Amino acid sequence: MTESYELYYWPTLPGRGEFVRLVMEAAGVSYVDVTRAGEIADGVGALKPLMYGQGEGHPAYAPPILKQGDFVLAQMPAICAFIGERHDFSPTGLQDRYHALQIILTIGDVATAAHDTHHPLGTTKFYEEQKAEALVTAQAFLQQNLPKQLNYFEAVLQKNGGEVLVGASLSYVDVALYHLLEGLAHAFPRGYAKTSELMPGLAALRNRAAALPRIRAYLASERRIDFNLDGIFRYYPELDLK
Ligand SMILES: N[C@@H](CCC(=O)N[C@@H](CS)C(=O)NCC(=O)O)C(=O)O
């Protein structure tokens, strides 16, 4: 397969697509962000025929979707692992590869939990129609889940030497965790700061990843979509810790 990678994701939000973008950017892999290449309506028009099993071959359910020629792959963790393994940005050896998979799947779980804080009743209703339920869900997330989740990532990091999550070199899971932490800190500045104050490994990982030349170049580019009120990590001050 030599054709270039195409990423299909919703054109106006970072969402789960951003994990994929950051992994490709950090690995130095070029790609076309198809739905953002022209008009928004055209972009959505290009994405929809690939969703819910409508595509050819092994079709996708939901975006992000990676395409290279006839090869189509969905599920954020699967795409990140595929790019990592194919482009020397993954641990090697069966056990380390599966430990990386364990971590990227956990990152995906936390991202889903963060999303559900503002949409606990589902995505068919706007946030404004479920604010009361969102407040209860967000407080439970911040008080009960987030401390355990951040402690888990800190423990994984420290038990692997403190620099990277798996193996001896930076890999796709470190970059994905960087984005998860950025997203959580954006959505819940008070909750994140309070929960992570005694987690030096996570703070250092964020700084190291943000300083990578490829990540810095990407963040400063027009390819980056900033966090907004349409993605997973949304800043609603009323949902944060008081
Ligand atoms: N577990 C999947 C979740 C995919 C997903 O929920 N995609 C969202 C956007 S982030 C979507 O467009 N879903 C459409 C739908 O569920 O109908 C992944 O990690 O990729």
* pTM (predicted TM-score): 0.97
Distance 76 CA to ligand 1 centre (A): 9
Query: Tens digits of per-residue pLDDT, 1-24?
Result: 457 999 999 999 999 999 999 999
CA-108 nearest atom, ligand 1: 19
Nearest protein Cα to ligand 1, atom 4: 62
Q: Is the CB of 14 under 6 A from ligand 1?
A: no
What ligand 1 atom has the least distance to the C-alpha of 64? 20
pLDDT per position as a tens digit, 39-91: 999 999 999 999 999 999 999 999 999 999 999 999 999 999 999 999 999 99
Give the residue, by CA position, lying nearest to ligand 1 atom 5: 62
Query: How much of the chain, in percent, has pLDDT values that exceed 70?
Result: 99
Q: Which pLDDT belongs to residue 171?
A: 98
pLDDT reported for residue 143:
98
pLDDT for 3: 75
Does residue 75 line the site of ligand 1, with CB under 6 A?
yes
Residue 79: predicted pLDDT:
98
Alpha carbons 26 and 211: distance in angstroms, whole number: 11
Cis peptide before 147 (omega within 30 of 0): no
pLDDT tens for each residue of 102-159:
999 999 999 999 999 999 999 999 999 999 999 999 999 999 999 999 999 999 999 9
Q: Which atom of ligand 1 is found nearest the CA of 79?
A: 20
Rg of the chain taking only CA atoms, in angstroms: 18
Q: What is the pLDDT of residues 152-187, one digit of tens each?
A: 999 999 999 999 999 999 999 999 999 999 999 999
pLDDT of residue 27: 98
Distances (CA, A) of 23 to 19, 111, 176, 233: 6, 16, 7, 18
Per-residue confidence (pLDDT) for residue 2, from 0 to 100: 56
Ligand 1 atom index nearest CA of 17: 10
Mean pLDDT of 221-230: 97
Among protein residues, the one whose CA lies closest to atom 16 of ligand 1: 62
Q: Could you write out the three-class secondary structure of the chain?
A: CCCCEEEECCCCCCCCHHHHHHHHHHHCCCEEEHHHCCCHHHHHHHHHHHCCCCCCCCCCCCCCEEEECCEEEECHHHHHHHHHHHCCCCCCCHHHHHHHHHHHHHHHHHHHHHHHHHCCCCCCCCHHHCHHHHHHHHHHHHHHHHHHHHHHHHHHHHHCCCCCCCCCCCCHHHHHHHHHHHHHHHHCHHHHHHHHCCCHHHHHHHHHHHCCHHHHHHHCCCCCCCCCCCCCCCCCHHHCCC
Atom 14, ligand 1: residue with shortest CA distance: 62
Residue nearest to atom 15 of ligand 1 (CA): 62
Contact 166, 100 (CB under 8 A): yes
16 CB near ligand 1 (under 6 Å): yes
